[in-house]
Chains A and B, each alone.
Chain A
Amino acid sequence: MVRMLSVERLVKRRGSREILTDVTFRAAPGRVTGLLGPNGAGKSSTLRILLGLDRADAGTALVDGQPYRRLRQPLRTVGSMLDGSGAHRSRTARNHLTWMARSNGIPTRRVAEVLDQVGLGAVGGTRVGRFSYGMCQRLGLAAALLGEPRALVLDEPVNGLDPEGIRWIRVLLRGHADAGGTVLLSSHLISEVDQIADDLVVIAHGRVVAAGPIREVTAGYPTLEDAFFALTQPVAGGR
């Protein structure tokens, strides 16, 4: 089944400030799509609307043509990770994943499976409050993988990971896309996106400034870094 994520002319205001303006892009199955932009560009806001957490003032964000809020067992369709573990600090990792599994009718055996998969098998009984940043990121990933979803939506997934962890997640996401899954990840780290993404959406000041296969976006620039700064710097005399 196709798992297309599509964002169409999204507008979001906070107070009188427009933080997203006409944001449009797609994340296709079999590809890793990188949402790249400086801090505060609107990456997290876009992903939160796509995941049904926040409301858009205009535009649509759809999973296979449906708003996320209409999905019946969303964890089986879209696995997501926003800031950190997403777990209450006084819970154990296992307890957190167990209530999540229960909420979407996911078999409990998946809890041990994903804990092993992300390398937290030995600390499943430890309270999340005692985890390091890297362990919290791994728990967040375990939660995303819990329902064996075809699509993954990850906000800054490599934050807090050590080099070994970064390599591991790169292999994991590549494998997911190669198996036909959809991966949408955000990052402000140019080199990470360069190594992991097939398609690129560059966002700055709440607007998409470039989108397409990574080679097309970087065409005419020596490196992605050069392309990134050329695309995201405000044009002299512009807004």
Chain B
Amino acid sequence: MTFPNTVAAEIRKTATLPATMVALTVAVLGPVAITLINAVGVRAALRSGRPELTAYTSPVEAVFSAVPIGTVGAVVLGVVAVSGEYTANRANIGGGRQITTTLTATPSRLGVLAGKAIAVGLLVAVAALVAIPASLALAGGIIGGDAPPTPDGVLSRSVGAGIYWMLTALTALAVTVFTRNGIAPIIVLVVNSSLVSVSVLLSHLTPLARFLPDLAGMSMFAGDLLAFDEALAPLTGGVVMATWTAGLLALAGAVFRWRDA
């Protein structure tokens, strides 16, 4: 019965790290802020009678085009849950890293990694449960009566967006196990999820790019926003992304077990 203790300890440890608060704030306020900007733009276009000025006129699309910014929070959360273990204290106060404490308290490497994955997954799920409904309400409120009828599948796309965030956070967690330092994974994954997606660029070269984790996962929520003809069906895309994530976590577990602390 030690695993529940490990999970409880990892949840407490991750949730009380100041960087986690920053990550959760980004994951919630980021999408809400972008939704606000999108929705104001849509309302202006609709009221001026020129809906062709925007890529979409539905409040729902104003929300789902803001989802990638929440991914940034998910990435930060997944990274700091691991990189915090390896942050070295100053040598003049004895140095040392938290990982030694973690692994003397819980020698099971796979137990620690599973506990962290559960903690990160739960925190991201909470962020998604707040951010996405809040964004939908906000966009609906701003665009209001000018909006076209609500399209189908809003719920499944919302769930898909939450799962996309969770899987992205777990990918970030696994990658940081390899690097033991948060800087490189944060830069690469934040740029990839907010500015330029390498997979999206590759999709212009080969349709195989749709099987890359982020592009596959985006099909869970993006709908027509994904300007890509060969996109996977939402469920298939989710399975593909989850498989990538599980593979990376398994590899991270093997490395974590084999490596000296």
Q: Which residues from chain A sit less than 8 Å from chain B, CB to CB?
A: 48, 51-55, 68-75, 78, 80, 82-91, 95-96, 98-100, 102-105, 128-129, 131-133, 136-137, 140, 143, 159-160
**How many residues of chain B have a CB within 8 Å of chain A?**
33
Residue of B with least CB distance to A84: B94
- Mask, B1-17, CB within 8 Å of A = 1, is 01001101100110011
- Bound form: Cα–Cα A87–B19 in Å: 15
Known: A48-B261, A91-B16, A99-B9. A85 touches B94 (CB 8 A): yes
Identify A91's interface contact among B17, B100, B103, CB under 8 A: B17
Known: A52-B107, A100-B101. A160 touches B8 (CB 8 A): no
Distance in angstroms from A104 CB to nearest chain B CB is 6
Identify B94's interface contact among A68, A105, A133, CB under 8 A: A133
**Are A53's CB and B103's CB within 8 A?**
yes
- Bound form: Cα–Cα A14–B84 in Å: 26
Residues of B near A133 (CB, < 8 A) are 92-94
Known: A99-B9, A103-B5, A137-B94. A143 touches B103 (CB 8 A): no
How many Cβ-Cβ contacts under 8 Å join chain A to chain B? 112
Identify B9's interface contact among A91, A103, A128, A143, CB under 8 A: A103
Distance in angstroms from A17 CB to nearest chain B CB is 15
**Are B12's CB and A102's CB within 8 A?**
yes
- Bound form: Cα–Cα A85–B19 in Å: 20
**Are B260's CB and A99's CB within 8 A?**
no
Residues of A near B107 (CB, < 8 A) are 52, 68-71, 74
Residue of B with least CB distance to A103: B9
The answer, yes or no, to whether B106 is at the interface (CB within 8 Å) is yes
Identify A82's interface contact among B5, B8, B96, CB under 8 A: B96
**Are A89's CB and B12's CB within 8 A?**
no
